[in-house]
């Protein structure tokens, strides 16, 4: 699958039944062919009575295609998971849990919220490569809102907090390639160096606005573009375009980000941004990651580890 996403009609034809979906996940989970966890045999048959279960042709061991993955223990049909992944990946801005609930006809908001939270986990490909070549870096603040605050802050504007975010943007021949966004604790050297270590290849050339927090990078070549009083968006055009898009998106789709889940939202933004020219790849990536990422507990989803 590449280029434009499947049309909804094509999608529904291709993933019409639980069997179609299970077969697709089977291929995504075992790209080099099935290997029985008990005896190593390479052949298995779909179990007649149990959903998504494959039975080893040699020893009879039963293995579920979703066991231990993001979809572990889900009561939702695979067709519904697939449709959710399709909608989330092919929508240019993404969907809120409320929109997903109504699109899928789900009975509860909580189910839609958890489904979306699990799909967001699948938006970060395990072992993804570091940004390389020429990489712009910068930091910004973004407003967040509390549980019952209106999106624009209303009377409580002064109570709104700020979340600190760092961005790295890989560029090539005057074009923006891939980005990474992380919530950071502060704009100090330790936080910014830590962010660069996690996201940028040691061989890259890092361009910053000359802020002292970027000084003396251990590995990367550092190009501090301090040009008098020139505004940062001229020195670092790409990273500033990302920040501007991020802020518009956060307000438009989610009516302001909530502090607790900021990293998950940033991961979603990065996922969509990096596949802006190939949204069909997004759908395949989501499902491939969904069967390769270990299961998350309910608490991991609702109370994520603070990152900043
Ligand atoms: Zn076996």
What is the pLDDT confidence band of residue 308, given thresholds at 50, 70 and 90? very low
The whole-number pLDDT of residue 295 equals 72
DSSP 137-197: EEEEEEEE--TT--TT-GGGGGG-EEEEEEEEEEEETTEEEEEEEEE-S-SSHHHHHHHHH
Q: How far is the CA of 63 from the centre of ligand 1 (A)?
A: 9
Strand partners of residue 1? none
Q: How far is the CA of 57 from the centre of ligand 1 (A)?
A: 7
Q: How far is the CA of 59 from the centre of ligand 1 (A)?
A: 4
Please say if the pLDDT value at position 79 is more than 80.
Answer: yes
The answer to which of 130-134, 145-149, 179-183, 246-250 has the lowest mean pLDDT is 145-149
Fold of the CATH domain 134-276? Nucleotidyltransferase; domain 5 (3.30.420)
Spatial neighbors of 162 by CB under 8 A, at least 6 apart, are 141, 142, 143, 144
CA distances 234 to 136, 163, 191, 227, 238, Å, are 12, 24, 24, 10, 9
Mean predicted confidence (pLDDT) in 295-305: 68
- Look over the chain and give the mean of its residue pLDDT values, rounded to a whole number: 84
What b-and-e string marks burial along 98-107, b requiring 16 or more CB atoms within 10 Å of the CB? eebbeebebe
Sheet with 205-208, strands from edge to edge, namely 175-183, 161-172, 134-144, 205-208, 221-224
Please say if the pLDDT value at position 292 is more than 70.
Answer: yes
pLDDT digits (tens, 9 = 90+) for 165-183: 999 999 998 889 999 999 9
What is the pLDDT confidence band of residue 80, given thresholds at 50, 70 and 90? very high
The whole-number pLDDT of residue 177 equals 92
Residue of 292 and 234 predicted with greater confidence: 292
Q: How far is the CA of 276 from the centre of ligand 1 (A)?
A: 42
The whole-number pLDDT of residue 198 equals 94
What is the pLDDT confidence band of residue 281, given thresholds at 50, 70 and 90? confident
What is the pLDDT confidence band of residue 159, given thresholds at 50, 70 and 90? very low
What's the gap between Cα 203 and its chain centre?
25
Contact 52, 22 (CB under 8 A): yes
What is the pLDDT confidence band of residue 271, given thresholds at 50, 70 and 90? very high
Q: How far is the CA of 14 from the centre of ligand 1 (A)?
A: 30
Structure tokens of 42? 């390479």
Separation CA 94–CA 272 (nearest Å): 8
How is the chain split among helix, strand and coil, in percent rounded to 5?
Answer: 40, 20, 40
Q: How far is the CA of 28 from the centre of ligand 1 (A)?
A: 20
> Would you kindly state where each structural domain of the chain is located, as residue ranges?
8-121, 134-276
Question: What residue has token string 């549980």?
Answer: 147
Spatial neighbors of 255 by CB under 8 A, at least 6 apart, are 145, 151
pLDDT digits (tens, 9 = 90+) for 197-230: 999 999 999 998 888 888 888 888 888 887 666 6
Nearest alpha carbon to residue 271 among 179, 145, 142, 174 = 179
Predicted model pTM: 0.85
Q: How far is the CA of 40 from the centre of ligand 1 (A)?
A: 6
Separation CA 233–CA 26 (nearest Å): 46
Q: How far is the CA of 68 from the centre of ligand 1 (A)?
A: 18
Contact 6, 33 (CB under 8 A): no
pLDDT digits (tens, 9 = 90+) for 45-55: 888 887 788 89
Percent of the chain at pLDDT exceeding 70: 86
Separation CA 296–CA 299 (nearest Å): 8
The whole-number pLDDT of residue 246 equals 92
The answer to which of 74-78, 80-84, 150-154 has the lowest mean pLDDT is 150-154
Residue of 223 and 108 predicted with greater confidence: 108
């Amino acid at each position: 699958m590449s280029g434009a996403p499947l049309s909804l009609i094509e999608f529904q034809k291709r993933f019409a039944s639980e069997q179609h979906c299970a077969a697709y996940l089977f291929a995504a989970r075992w790209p080099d062919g099935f290997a029985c966890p008990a005896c190593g045999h390479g052949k298995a048959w779909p179990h007649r009575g149990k959903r998504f279960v494959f039975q080893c042709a040699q020893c009879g061991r039963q293995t579920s295609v979703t066991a231990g993955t993001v979809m572990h223990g889900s009561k939702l049909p695979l067709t519904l998971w697939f449709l959710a992944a399709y909608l989330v990946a092919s929508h240019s801005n993404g969907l809120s849990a409320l929109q997903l609930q109504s699109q899928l006809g789900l009975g509860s908001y909580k189910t839609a919220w958890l489904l979306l939270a699990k799909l967001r986990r699948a938006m970060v490909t395990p072992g993804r490569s570091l940004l390389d070549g020429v990489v712009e870096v910068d930091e910004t603040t973004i407003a967040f809102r509390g549980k019952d605050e209106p999106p624009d802050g209303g009377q409580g504007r002064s109570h709104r907090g700020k979340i600190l975010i760092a961005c790295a943007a890989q560029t090539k021949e005057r074009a923006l390639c891939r980005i990474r966004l992380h919530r950071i604790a502060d704009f100090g050297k330790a936080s910014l160096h830590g962010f660069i270590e996690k996201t940028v290849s040691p061989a890259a050339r890092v361009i910053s606005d000359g802020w002292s927090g970027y000084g003396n990078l251990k590995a990367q070549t550092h190009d501090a573009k301090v040009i008098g009083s020139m505004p940062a968006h001229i020195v670092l055009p790409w990273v500033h375009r990302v920040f501007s898009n991020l802020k518009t998106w956060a307000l438009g789709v989610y009516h302001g980000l909530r502090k607790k889940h900021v990293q998950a939202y940033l991961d979603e933004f990065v996922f969509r941004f990096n596949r802006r020219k190939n949204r069909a790849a997004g759908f395949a990536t989501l499902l491939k990651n969904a069967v390769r990422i270990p299961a998350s507990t309910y608490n991991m989803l609702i109370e994520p580890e603070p990152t900043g």
